[in-house]
Amino acid sequence: MALDIFLERGFEQATMEEIATCVGMSKRTVYAYYEDKAALFKAAVRRAIELYTVPREAIEAVVTDDLEESLVAIGRQRVANMTTPVATKLQRILGTQSFRFPELFNESFEKGAGPVIDVLCGLFERYSASGEITVTDPTRAATSFLSLVVGGPTRIIVSGNVLDVAEAEQRIRFAVALFLNGVRRR
């Protein structure tokens, strides 16, 4: 409930009174749980991060024996997750409030992208060991992959533009191919 108010009105415009009314509590009761609006905001955002983070098992479930198709599936899954209405609003508010709450911005990336990065690192290590690709720093490769494959479509959608499924798929496939061309053994 508090998160919905923060997401709809922004940190500055949301009031503790409005939040208390929305959750059916007195302002005094809300303050008994949270020191101030900033503490409530942090708690609400951390809860949202937990809710929208895709578990590692769900990411592993889209992995196949084909590296390219696995990367496309991971990209597709991540874009779909990052562009849900709540995730979109969450990214917007984290972006606008990153100066005030830099730790939340970092936490959001670490917790939200962490399971994806772990799975990608495992894939890059496995396919490097088999000789199909050369990745000497799996973590940097994973974060670069996310920036390239997921960042573009996500930025389009978060900025309020429409990206239809076919266009998103083309962008994901193009970015995956570009990434793989950079790490394939020559």
Q: Residue 44: give its domain's CATH number.
A: 1.10.10.60
What's the whole-model pTM score? 0.85
Bridge partners (DSSP) of residue 184 are 133
Query: Three-class SS of residue 91?
Result: helix
Q: Based on the domain organization, do 33 and 46 belong to the same domain?
A: yes
Q: Based on the domain organization, do 39 and 82 belong to the same domain?
A: no
Give residue 95's identity as a one-letter amino acid code.
G
Confidence grade of residue 13 (pLDDT, cut at 50, 70, 90): very high
Give me Rg for the CA atoms of the chain: 19
Q: Report the distance separating Cα 54 and Cα 77, nearest Å.
A: 9
State which residues form the domain around 41.
Answer: 1-52
Confidence grade of residue 86 (pLDDT, cut at 50, 70, 90): confident
Q: Based on the domain organization, do 119 and 71 belong to the same domain?
A: yes
Q: Encode pLDDT of 125-172 as tens digits.
A: 999 999 999 999 999 999 999 999 998 898 888 788 888 889 999 999
Higher pLDDT, 88 or 183: 183
73, 62 Cβ separation under 8 angstroms? yes
Most confident residue range from 3-12, 32-41, 92-101, 120-129: 120-129
